[in-house]
Amino acid sequence: MKRRPYRKILLATDGSENAKSAACSGIEIAKRTGSEVYVVYVAGISCCSPIMPESYDWEVGKEGSEAVAEIEEMGKEAAVPVNVVLLQGHPAQEILDFAEKNDIDMIVMGTQGTAGIDRFLLGGVTEKVVRHAKAEVLVVRAPCP
């Protein structure tokens, strides 16, 4: 059975160094295959407070914009157009839903995301995506060359 080339690649980011390394690898794959790239940042929902101050929304939006801007720049340097997607919800589920609704062929992620309390609240996002994705998932550990 002949394998079809990747048409759409999702780069999941949380702004961490691991996510940037994964995005670098994903952009290289997209450049070689001519794939369309979507960089997805999901602002997680806090389990601790149903009511968040307005400043929290602003800060999350700022973090997401900064995270995707770095990857957009990587894409420009590689001459690979990048579509930016900012979502809010449970990161693993939002990534899975977006991938399915948009016929994503490959999801590229880092091995771990943010540190500290955010990582605890978000849980094993990569593991959940690997277990439940219908698309192929590439998990990147090493820094991009």
pLDDT of residue 57: 52
pLDDT for res 51? 55
Give the integer Cα–Cα distance in Å for 10 and 28.
13
| Rounded average pLDDT per 10-residue block, the chain, 145 residues | 78 92 96 96 68 52 86 97 94 97 96 53 75 94 74
pLDDT value for 124: 86
Instruction: List the chain domain ranges.
Output: 8-140
d(CA 40, CA 107): 10
* pLDDT score for 83: 97
Q: 55-63: which pairs have CB atoms within 8 A and are 24 or more residues apart?
A: 60/88, 61/86, 63/15
Q: What is the spatial distance between Cα 34 and Cα 36, in angstroms, rounded to a whole number?
A: 7
Q: Write the DSSP string, 85-114.
A: EEEEE-HHHHHHHHHHHTT-SEEEEES---
The whole-number pLDDT of residue 23 equals: 96
Architecture of the domain defined by 8-140? 3-Layer(aba) Sandwich (3.40)
